[in-house]
Amino acid sequence: EGKMEKGLTLKDKKKKIKKRKKEKKWTYDDINIIEYCFDGELIIKTKKKKKKDSEVVESVKDEILKRKKEEMYEEDTQGDNYISDIMDDDELNEKKNYIIQKTSFRTLSLKLPNPPIFKSTTESNIIPQVSIFELLTKFDGETETYLHDDKSAPSTLIISKLPKYLIFTIERFSKNNFFVEKNGTIVNFVIKNLDMKDYVHQDYLNANPVTKYNLIANIFHSGTVNTGSYKIHVLNQPTNEWYEIEDLHVISILPQLVLLPESCVQLYQRQDVQLNGELG
């Protein structure tokens, strides 16, 4: 290869260097682009199901047997450093009563409040609204939510790692035995500086120095369940202009109009992510 390099003209060498730079620019060392962009992690704390009477009896028997063994061991070792590293009672009880696990996520699901069934004459023309921060309380580590249909064990959710790109899916449609219903509640959100700091576990704040996001895309549904359609608002970041796209129809819009429709999917970009996807 060294001999071939000597035989190249200056123009060919420049072309080769330019080609190498171009290849390097778009190579991410075999990193999956989806995993690179949507690399969030959640801590899920779930209450353990209550044991049946027979299970409780067996558990008590096991505990008594365990304590007897511990007492015998303490006598043999004369208590030498046996319980020096035992957990605090509160932490021990929490471990017994909860299952704590860490899991990766690519989207965060937000549940809309149910719209009022019966409306007065004055309320009939008022569109229900909710703040995105109210929906995000689901991830504050304190609000209980049910992850399974049986609703037997409530869980709390909190973020341990913020992704480079954050996707919110808003549950706007629900289906019963007879028909599909659309929840027309408007979500009041922010386009710039969405701060996710309150939804990150305090032990992981140092690992997440950047917690603010900017909206770059918003998919929404316009119209009724049967005759409506999906559209998208997209930000052209180099020019800072917003566009509305429906199929092949593209129009430029004011940023204020992005806040008005019935959002279904929102895409936020973390503020330290540059246009080429690298961190700055």
Tens place of pLDDT for every residue, the chain, 280 residues?
444 455 667 767 667 766 665 555 544 566 788 888 999 999 999 988 765 555 545 655 566 666 665 555 444 444 444 333 333 444 445 567 889 999 999 999 999 998 777 665 565 568 899 999 999 999 999 999 998 776 778 999 999 999 999 999 999 998 888 889 999 999 999 999 999 999 999 999 999 999 999 999 999 999 999 889 999 999 999 999 999 999 999 999 999 999 999 999 999 999 999 988 888 8
Range of the domain at 55: 51-103
Do 250 and 266 belong together in one domain? Answer: yes
Q: Is residue 21 part of a domain?
A: no
The answer for 81, left when phi > 0, alpha when psi is -120 to 50, beta otherwise, is: left
Give phi and psi for 274, each to the nearest 5. -85, 175
Whether residue 175 sits in one domain with residue 91: no
Answer yes or no: do 111 and 87 share one domain: no
Residues 175-184 as b/e (b if ≥16 CB within 10 A, e otherwise) read eeeeeeebbe
- Residue 155: inside a domain, yes or no? yes
Pairing of strands 108-111, 165-171: parallel
* Same domain, residue pair 77 and 88: yes
Kindly state whether residues 242 and 267 are assigned to the same domain: yes
- Asked whether residue 138 falls in the same domain as residue 229, the answer is yes
Q: Which of 79, 103, 127 is the last residue of a domain?
A: 103
Can you say whether the dihedral through the CA atoms of 92, 94, 95, 101 is positive or negative? negative
Query: Is 219 part of a structural domain of the chain?
Result: yes
Domains held by the chain: number: 2
Boundary (domain end) residue, out of 88, 103, 118: 103
Domain end position, chosen among 77, 103, 129: 103
| Residue 44 falls inside a structural domain | no
Is residue 36 in a domain? Answer: no
Residues 224 and 253 in one domain: yes
Say if strands 229-236 and 212-222 run parallel, antiparallel, or are unpaired. antiparallel
